[in-house]
Chain A
Amino acid sequence: GQQLNQSPQSMFIQEGEDVSMNCTSSSIFNTWLWYKQEPGEGPVLLIALYKAGELTSNGRLTAQFGITRKDSFLNISASIPSDVGIYFCAGQLTGNTPLVFGKGTRLSVIA
């Protein structure tokens, strides 16, 4: 099935560093979402974006919905050990269509 292009695949960073990851698609979406998944758990929603160009923050997390509707990025500032996990982007065309996920970015934080 379709999956979004998410990069990087994995990152190793020092505690306190900022992190940036992005997601691109060959087709447009009208909603972009960012999830975090920890081992043995389901994905948990971090940020939802509904409008092209929108920039939204949630604590140390900031995400943007690209102007072309075909991309989004997520920034995490001042990383901490509990940021470890796999981050997924997801796009949705309309409210009644399924989410399409990226392959994930695995984040490791070195204390």
Chain B
Amino acid sequence: GAGVSQSPRYKVAKRGQDVALRCDPISGHVSLFWYQQALGQGPEFLTYFQNEAQLDKSGLPSDRFFAERPEGSVSTLKIQRTQQEDSAVYLCASTTIGGFGNGYTFGSGTRLTVV
């Protein structure tokens, strides 16, 4: 597609529920990133894929967070047993080359609200 597509746009989850957030990067983009943006804050890095390989997951806040990109295109961020502090906008970005910030294209994000 023309841009990075994320779904759903909005998700309300009850505390303790599992959620799955999807990212469709720009076709052919090798690198894919997930960022978490809490209300009133800047985005914070979660994890990075190059093709299907997860090269950096140092930003994942706990073992309840898991990301995958099995075929090197679509990626899913899964959060198990959601907590209120998980409420945030989850942004996905992709780029053609490894990691360079100038090449990032961000999606519109998924706003997760845990009640």
Q: Are A95 and B98 in contact (CB under 8 A)?
A: yes
Contact with A along B35-55 (1 / 0, CB 8 A): 100001111110010000001
Asked, given contacts A1-B59, A42-B91, A103-B41, whether A96 binds B106 with beta carbons under 8 Å apart, the answer is: no
Q: Count of chain A residues with Cβ under 8 Å from any Cβ of B? A: 27
Residue pairs across A and B with CB atoms within 8 Å: the count is 71
Contact with B along A21-44 (1 / 0, CB 8 A): 000000000010100000011111
Q: Are A99 and B104 in contact (CB under 8 A)?
A: yes
A88 contacts partner chain B, Cβ-Cβ < 8 Å: yes
Asked, given contacts A31-B102, A48-B102, A92-B101, whether A3 binds B4 with beta carbons under 8 Å apart, the answer is: no
Q: Are B42 and A42 in contact (CB under 8 A)?
A: no
Which residues in window 34-79 of A have CB below 8 A to B?
40-45, 48
Interface residues on B, range: 20 to 34
Q: Are B45 and A99 in contact (CB under 8 A)?
A: yes
Q: Are A42 and B106 in contact (CB under 8 A)?
A: yes
Given A3-B41, A48-B102, A96-B55; 4 other pairs, CB 8 A cutoff = A44-B106, A96-B98, A98-B59, A99-B101
